[in-house]
Structure 1
Amino acid sequence: MTATATALTRQIRVDHPSAGYAAARLARAAAQDAGLPSVLADRAAVVAAELAGNIDKHTGGGSVFVQQSLSGRGVDVLAADDGPGMADLDHWLLDGNTTTATLGAGLGAVKRMATEFRITSSPADGTLAAARLLDPAAPPLRGATGHFRLAREGEEYCGDAVALAEVTGSRTAVVADGLGHGPDAAEAAEAALRVFTENPDRPLPHQLTNMHRALRATRGAAVALVRIAPRRLEFCGVGNVGGASVGAGPARLLLSTPGVVGFTLPAAPVRHLDLADDDVVVLHTDGVGTGWRLPGRTPDLLLLAADLAHRHRNPRDDAAMLALRADRSA
């Protein structure tokens, strides 16, 4: 059994030429904190600098987000801009094709250096890109993931938190939102995660009950839990953390029961849903708006994280999201 709590995501606003250097510095630090060897830390820095440089030179602005990965020992670098996008994306994915002087990598080399690379672009909507660099010496976790955990603008503490656990045949996750923001909110959310990581395979209502006891000395939190396995889902939540199951058909909302874990714990029913093979389960705090839900489309998880972080996040609040796809072979 493996349980992993997320570290803080760092945002670099690309509104000045030195943003590429800032992105490189943060990506190298995140890689070192994740325990990656120096050669992979250097690659992460190049990837982040290249994605930031492209935004600076070719668009009206955007952001790069750097974080430790939830899919294994590694780093995720997410990038999103405000357009204009690229009409001929395939051309710029060839090694060596770059229109201006950057570090010389180009998107093709970024794709080659990354363990996983995703990009989509259109002249009207701009570009979303995501690179994941994982240590090949460490086994990756099963199933696809996308996430972020962002503090309120100007804050160092984040009251929203995410953790993911791998157990035989399923994946269980928690998203917690400590009331308010700052260090007291972070204390509440982290207390919920400690309960979760101690024994993540407990039944979901038992998790909430144990969290309620542990959070009585804090300001309390909203908490949502999800357990997914091939073709089935369990969801249980209290407070303002919710989400949706997104796939080829209409999105199905995952709504929590009103209340505050640690203060007023209602009887929260467990919701059971059938999942199609390509369905994606998304949980997020209220720092992420609801306008992202597009029925009839299965999103790429890394690009969804980039999109929600840049286009649907409220910078005046902490924000966190987690997107999961079940391991079909479990």
Structure 2
Amino acid sequence: MSLTTHIRVDHYSAVQLAASAARRTALAAGLTGPLPDRAAVLASELASNVARYALHGSLYVQPLPLRRGVEVLAVDRGPGMADAEQCLTDGYTTGGSLGSGLGAVRRIADQFAIRTKEGTGTLVCARLGEPGDTSPDRAPAVGAVRVPADGEVSCGDSWGVAVTEGAQTAMVVDGLGHGDPAAEAAELAVRTFHRDPGQPLPELMRAMNRALRHSRGAAVALLRRTRDTMEATSVGNVRSLLVAPGGVRQRFGGQPGVVGWNMPEPRVQRVPAQPGIISLLHSDGIDTRWADAPSAFLTALPAPLLAAALVHEHRRSRDDATVLTLGPPRRDA
């Protein structure tokens, strides 16, 4: 699973860095023709907007979660927008520019979402994929951000999502420690997950336990949603929650232990399915206190923007951090 490229937009020089990262990511994802250059334009326009108008902003650039393409997420703690739709209109500007930034992003992207609040900031998700290469109709809206600890090149966290008949299954894994050994354990867990993701959650966990016996070991959380139920199991300190507008609806408890070393018999927790719920998993690189009293703005975000917001606002920079969110089948917003 590819890493997220995190670019702090604390100077206008970050605009070129963002454009280069988006073009490189698009090429690595297999986008063809003019699409890598269009991805660079998305990142350039979003970074320019953050540099010009916002504070404490960042771009997160990465491959799309479930299909071939690139995703650019922009998050800031700026003044927000009084009228987002007006700001998306070509020619509108409050900063003396040509005013084509956000409007151009919405035109170029094949998926676009924006949420803003005055005094809080703005979040934007722009996605660009290869035409005709689409995710399954029953696929959930997926958000995922995976960043290494500051100063690290490899990341000991990873994630996986699988859509099987009648179910959507998600996992987040946190390899013990940092660096290459942790990353190797995490990637081994992801490969094991994808071999047969439709099997019962305890069997998936046991398969990963066997696969990781000669590795560093890991914390793992699995969460599955079907039409009627949500079920989860976890070992170690990866968190699993259900989030809806208005707050956290459910926190699933984890079991102590290490997958690959001393894993207990997996215990599955089940709750009835509810409409409008986002399933959320995150490693301990995210401060768990975010869920104690989250704002209504945060919990109402769509899945991709919720993942970006949690990493941007609640990440522990000395640790690897991964957030994975699954919403209902996507609607462009």
Q: What TM-score do you get using the length of structure 2 for normalisation?
A: 0.92
**Residue 103 of structure 1: CA displacement?**
8.9
Change (3 A) 1:118 1:314: same
Matched, 1:235 2:235: no
Aligned partners of 1:211, 1:60: CA distance in 2, in Å?
42
Which of 76, 85, 88 aligns to 1:81? It is: 76
Equivalent residue letter for 2:47: A
Amino acid at match of 1:95: D
Alpha-carbon deviations, 1:65-119, whole Å to 9, x = none? 0000113211111111121222232221112334457797410111111111111
Give distance in 1, aligned partners of 2:25 and 2:97.
Answer: 22
Cα distance, 1:38 vs structure 2? 3.0
2:175 equivalent to 1:173: no
Assess if the C-alpha contact under 8 Å between 1:280 and 1:299 holds in 2: no
Task: Give the C-alpha shift of residue 284 in structure 1.
Answer: 0.4
State the alpha-carbon separation in 1 of the partners of residues 206 and 268 from structure 2. Answer: 13
1:319 counterpart residue number: 321
Render the CA deviation track for 1:193-251: whole Å, top value 9, x for unaligned.
11111111121111111111111111110001111122421211100001211125652
Distance 1:288 1:51 in 2: 25
Asked if the contact 2:173/2:238 (under 8 Å) is kept, the reply is: yes
Shifted more, 142-151 versus 37-46: the winner is 37-46
SS in 1 for 2:34: helix
Equivalent pairs: percent with the same residue? 46
What SS does the aligned partner of 1:144 have?
strand
* Counterpart selection for 2:254 from 253, 256, 264: 256
The C-alpha deviation readout for 1:310-329, integer Å capped at 9, x for no partner, is: 1111111000111002449x
Q: CA–CA distance in 2 between the matches of 1:265 and 1:202?
A: 19
Shift of 1:136: 2.2
Distance 1:194 1:279 in 2: 27
Deviations along 1:251-302, one digit per CA (max 9) or x if unpaired, are: 2002211110011111221111112121110000000122433387443112
**Which of 267, 271, 274 in structure 2 is aligned with 1:273?**
271
Residue 52 of structure 1 deviates from its aligned partner by 0.8
8 A Cα contact 2:149 2:320, kept in partner? yes
Give 1:31's match in structure 2, choosing from 16, 26, 29.
26
1:9 match: 4
Distance 1:103 1:312, change over 3 A: farther
Cα displacement string for residues 159-207 of structure 1 (whole angstroms, at most 9, x for unaligned residues): 0000111111111121100011110110111111111111111211111
**Partner Cα distance (2:213, 2:52) in 1:** 51
Verify: 1:290 aligned to 2:294, yes or no.
no
Distance 1:251 1:111, change over 3 A: same
Partner of 1:3 in structure 2? none
**1:66–1:75 contact (8 Å) kept in structure 2:** yes
Q: Which runs of 5+ in 1 are unaligned?
A: 1-5
Counterpart code for 1:53: S
CA distance in 1, matches of 2:289, 2:301: 14
Against the structure 1 CA distance between its residues 38 and 155, is the aligned structure 2 distance closer, same or farther, given a 3 Å change threshold? farther
Name 1:146's counterpart in structure 2. 143
**2:104 aligned partner:** 109
Q: Give the secondary structure class of the aligned counterpart of 1:172.
A: strand
**What's the CA shift for 1:137?**
1.5
Unaligned segments of structure 2, at least 5 residues: none
Give secondary structure in 2 for the equivalent of 1:251. Answer: strand
Q: Which residue identity does 2:268 align to in structure 1? A: V
RMSD: 1.9
What TM-score do you get using the length of structure 1 for normalisation?
A: 0.92
Task: Confirm whether residue 164 of structure 1 aligns to residue 150 of structure 2.
Answer: no
Work out whether residues 97 and 108 of structure 1, in 8 Å CA contact, stay in contact via their aligned partners in 2. no
